[in-house]
Homo-oligomer: A and B are copies of this chain.
Amino acid sequence: MTRPKRATIVDVARMAEVSAKTVSRVVNNEPHVTEAVKTRVREAMRALRYHPNVAAQGLVRSRSYLIGLVYEKPSPSYVVELQKGALERLHGERFRLVVLPVESVTEREDEIIALLRSAALDAVLLAPPASDHAGLMKELREVGMPFARISPTRLLGQGPSVAMDDVAAAQEAAEHLVNLGHKRIGVIKGDPSHAASDARLVGTMQALAKAGITLHPELIESGLFTFDSGLAAARRLLALDPPPTAILAQNDDMAAAAITAARECGLLVPEDLSVVGFDDSDISRVVWPPLTTIRQPVEDMAYRAMDMLLHVLRGEPEGADVQLGHELLIRRSTAPPKAGL
């Protein structure tokens, strides 16, 4: 347990025969240092395996060099992509990423704020549905903690954000089904607390309306973005008379569940039932048949959002909100409806 004490800036200064401040200048790439001195200092740093003490830096600069990532237990692949993108941008920076999954953003805003304050974060990245939570953002502004929003769907302009166009994406997915000839299309909505659920429904309805198809309320079922909730919703849809010839699920987990539900009813996918997902998560390639789905560039979004956050932390002006493109991936879970229907 003899924790070997780390070399400090003073040790380096002594070895390089300069003052501590000069070492500090070298460490922070400040100007006004001779090349000769610079190299001497650098050698001493290497010899002593010197690493600046982040706590001390943080103390004087009142920075923790910690950035939080707030999200709410969505699917594992979503979380991992989120983290990947955020970390990718952080590579080479001094900041570290602290993960902060919360049970429910609504669980008590002030508790979350207390969490953020006690964690001494410099800034936070807000993933849905936290990114749509007005109260949370208000509190963050009050305590002066910068944030960036990933996939917000409402209250735009309340902070830098990166998103995709959920309405357009859902519209595209629905059009794909319409073009295949489907007329009776079931929808499995996502978690109502995620505003994306509504946006996607709107897009779907727009596409159907444009094709002159009315979406009966009975064809709209609600899920929670989980496999199990999707399974229940799909069963209800398939019990209708007549059942839909296609189901548009608002994420891949629920779409996978729809396939399972179809199998329970003895229906073949895509022959008897077409299924469309959303997200292009791992699951979409693992199920059979592989899902037609919308690719949502989660990793890119997290990367860009983190980038915006770093800009803000450097005191640079906030850039404009960013919208990233989506993509309809047509795989094998969709086909024209059977002739007779």
| A75 smallest CB distance to B (angstroms) | 8
Find chain B residues with CB under 8 A from A56 CB.
55, 59
For residue A54, CB closer than 8 A to chain B, the reply is yes
For residue A157, CB closer than 8 A to chain B, the reply is no
Listed in ascending order, the chain A residues whose CB lies under 8 Å from chain B are 1-4, 6, 49, 51, 53-56, 58-59, 62, 64, 66, 75-77, 79-80, 83-84, 87, 94, 96-99, 101, 114, 117-120, 142-144, 227, 253, 256-257, 259-260, 263, 282-283, 285-288, 315
| A326 smallest CB distance to B (angstroms) | 21
Contact A120 B55 (CB under 8 A): yes
Contact A54 B120 (CB under 8 A): yes
Instruction: Give A62 to B143 CA distance when docked, in angstroms.
Output: 27
Find chain B residues with CB under 8 A from A257 CB.
286
Contact B97 A99 (CB under 8 A): yes
Instruction: Give A287 to B287 CA distance when docked, in angstroms.
Output: 5
Find chain B residues with CB under 8 A from A55 CB.
55-56, 58-59, 64, 120
Residue in B59, B62, B259, B315 whose CB lies within 8 Å of A1: B315
Contact A51 B117 (CB under 8 A): yes
- Give the most central of A6, A56, A84, A286: most B CB within 10 Å: A286
Contact A66 B286 (CB under 8 A): no
Contact B120 A53 (CB under 8 A): yes
- Give the most central of A55, A76, A87, A259: most B CB within 10 Å: A55
- Give the most central of A142, A256, A288: most B CB within 10 Å: A288
Closest to A281 in B: B76
Contact A3 B144 (CB under 8 A): yes
Known: A59-B53, A96-B119, A287-B286. A143 touches B263 (CB 8 A): no
Contact B80 A99 (CB under 8 A): no
| A112 smallest CB distance to B (angstroms) | 14
Contact A99 B120 (CB under 8 A): no
Find chain B residues with CB under 8 A from A227 CB.
282, 285-286
Instruction: Give A256 to B87 CA distance when docked, in angstroms.
Output: 29
Find chain B residues with CB under 8 A from A83 CB.
99, 101
Residue in B2, B76, B285 whose CB lies within 8 Å of A282: B76
18 contacts between A and B (CB under 8 A): A3-B144, A4-B144, A51-B114, A54-B64, A54-B118, A54-B119, A55-B56, A55-B59, A75-B282, A76-B77, A84-B101, A87-B99, A94-B118, A96-B119, A227-B282, A253-B286, A283-B283, A287-B287
Find chain B residues with CB under 8 A from A288 CB.
259-260, 263, 287-288
Instruction: Give A178 to B308 CA distance when docked, in angstroms.
Output: 57
Instruction: Give A77 to B283 CA distance when docked, in angstroms.
Output: 11
Find chain B residues with CB under 8 A from A77 CB.
76
Residue in B1, B62, B99 whose CB lies within 8 Å of A99: B99
